[in-house]
Amino acid sequence: MHVQEFARRRRHLMELIGRDGVAVLAAAPERTRSRDTLYSYRPDSDFYYVTGFAEPDAVAVLMPGRSQGEFVLFCRERDPLRELWDGYREGPEGAVERYGADDAFPIGDIEDILPGLLERSERVYYSMGVSAEFDQRLLGWMQTLHARRQRGHAPNELVDLDHLLHEMRLFKSRRELSAMKRSARIAVAAHERAMRLCEPGRHEYELEAEFVHEFRRNGAHCAYDPIVAGGTNACVLHYRTNNNELKDGDLVLIDAGCEYDLYASDITRTFPVNGRFTAPQRELYEVVFEANRAAVEKVLPGNHWNDPHDAAVKTITRGLRELGILNGRLTSLLKEEAYKPYFMHKTGHWLGLDVHDVGDYKVADQWRLLERGMVTTIEPGIYIAADEKGVKKRWRGIGIRLEDDVLVTKDGPDVLTGGLALAADDVEQLMSEAA
Ligand code: GLY
Ligand code: MN
Ligand code: MN
């Protein structure tokens, strides 16, 4: 992402905060995986959104209208020995030269400098509850300022930064959309790889490996642990074990997306392990396919957030009724939410820097309206548990989800993941080409 994009975001946020406010954002800490090995570092999305700075042990301060500089960054100092072991650090010099900081200081000096930066403001904007440790430190600095306010000014309000920042993050800029489109394209290619490779006798982890390969060769990472669920494993919504053999005659459900430039894609496809749907698999597949289509069509500016879900629920209820899995009048079935044992999650969520991205779904207790620049997933599913006695045997143990990423535009839904086969015939065609 270009340095100007981050500068634009800071300007926008500072306009919202106003001249008597100050914003404080802390970087995510490094986290231990086991003993002395760490998880690969993932910046905090809010911190990264505002700074573009991807190192731990950093704190950003935004002070709208401050004549000596509005953006101050605290970060790790250059350290030849640590850099020999762990790699390059920007240091305060790099923060000023390459990240647009007006001033930058070693993180070790924060106790001495930060309280003085807060002093000038009325309100401190900060996201409480992300880091208990930093919460305590910030509150401590504010208390200290209060204790000696006879000698100077002290902010008397702590305001949640989430609301302003997350509303900004909900609307994707041109540059963000270009990253998200790339993220979607990479994930589409990875799903195609997995469909081509799949055959009975392979293991779920072999398909997972196709994703890791395709993501990494494109400079992307997994946005979340891929779900590769053969047969009845598909009925476990967040199955991640991925170590079972894929069986002839079963379906495999894959929910996998990547993070490119930290922007997520999130795709699910469900396809036959041997390349051909059985009749009951296809019957259920068609219902989920229609639900996906019906929901995507509702991703329009001016529609309510929940309209796509309502469309998916209606299509799934109707489809299950036509198959004889649900019995009764359509209106009663909808009213009783009879679909819920088989479709127990929502049809989507915001997508962006986080796979379940930030942004309110309701405004003043009402579903919010969809607007241009928002990106949502559309992911209806049907899951018939293996021991679901109320449903004929032919459908038991089948789990299907079809998930796409959709941008709201004035010209209608833009399916960022639309390049990937979705219709049953197209899936079979793709898999047969590989054979
Ligand atoms: N991959 C998680 C989800 O689909 O929401
Ligand atoms: Mn998903
Ligand atoms: Mn999703």
Mean pLDDT over residues 202-213, rounded? 98
Q: How far is the CA of 255 from the centre of ligand 1 (A)?
A: 7
Q: Is the CB of 266 under 6 A from ligand 1?
A: yes
Mean pLDDT over residues 276-283, rounded? 98
Atom of ligand 1 nearest to the CA of 227: 1
Q: Which residues surround ligand 3, an ion (CB under 5 A)?
A: 266, 377
Q: What percent of the chain has pLDDT over 70?
A: 100
Domain ranges of the chain: 3-169, 171-432
Residue 221, pLDDT above cutoff 70: yes
Strands (E) in 213-361, as ranges, are 221-222, 227-230, 251-256, 258-260, 263-264, 267-272
pLDDT of residue 146: 84
From its phi and psi, is residue 285 left (phi > 0), alpha (psi between -120 and 50) or beta?
Answer: alpha
State whether residue 272 is helix, strand or coil: strand
Query: Residues 32-41: pLDDT tens digits?
Result: 999 999 999 9
- Cα 106 to its chain centre, rounded Å, is 32
Query: Residues 317-344: pLDDT tens digits?
Result: 999 999 999 999 999 999 999 999 999 9
pLDDT of residue 434: 67
Q: How far is the CA of 349 from the centre of ligand 1 (A)?
A: 8
pLDDT of residue 372: 98
The secondary element (H helix, E strand) that includes residue 408 is strand 404-409
Mean pLDDT over residues 387-396, rounded? 95
Question: Which residues are annotated as catalytic?
Answer: 36, 238, 255, 266, 345, 349, 356, 379, 383, 401, 403
Kindly report the CATH class assigned to 3-169: alpha beta
Residue 216, pLDDT above cutoff 60: yes
Q: Is the CB of 255 under 6 A from ligand 1?
A: yes
Residue closest via CA to ligand 1's atom 5 equals: 356
Mean pLDDT over residues 392-409, rounded? 97
Atom of ligand 1 nearest to the CA of 345: 5
Mean pLDDT over residues 183-208, rounded? 98
pLDDT of residue 129: 92
Atom of ligand 1 nearest to the CA of 238: 2
Residue 98, pLDDT above cutoff 80: yes
Q: Which residues surround ligand 2, an ion (CB under 5 A)?
A: 255, 266, 403
Atom of ligand 1 nearest to the CA of 356: 5
The end-to-end CA distance of the chain, in Å, is 40
Geometric angle at alpha carbon 378, from 373 and 384, rounded to 5°: 170
Q: Half-sphere exposure (CA, 13 Å, Cβ side) for 322? A: 11
Query: Residues 38-66: pLDDT tens digits?
Result: 999 999 999 999 999 999 999 999 999 99
| CA–CA dist 61, 73 (Å, integer) | 6
Pairing of strands 157-160, 251-256: unpaired
Give the closest ligand to the alpha carbon of residue 378.
Answer: 3
Pair 274, 362: CB distance under 8 Å: no
Mean pLDDT over residues 16-22, rounded? 96
Q: Are 3-169 and 171-432 in the same CATH fold?
A: no
Query: Residues 146-187: pLDDT tens digits?
Result: 887 777 788 989 999 999 999 999 999 999 999 999 999 999
Mean pLDDT over residues 306-327, rounded? 98
Q: How far is the CA of 5 from the centre of ligand 2 (A)?
A: 28
Looking at domain 171-432, does it have CATH number 3.90.230.10? Answer: yes
Mean pLDDT over residues 259-276, rounded? 98
DSSP summary character for residue 395: G
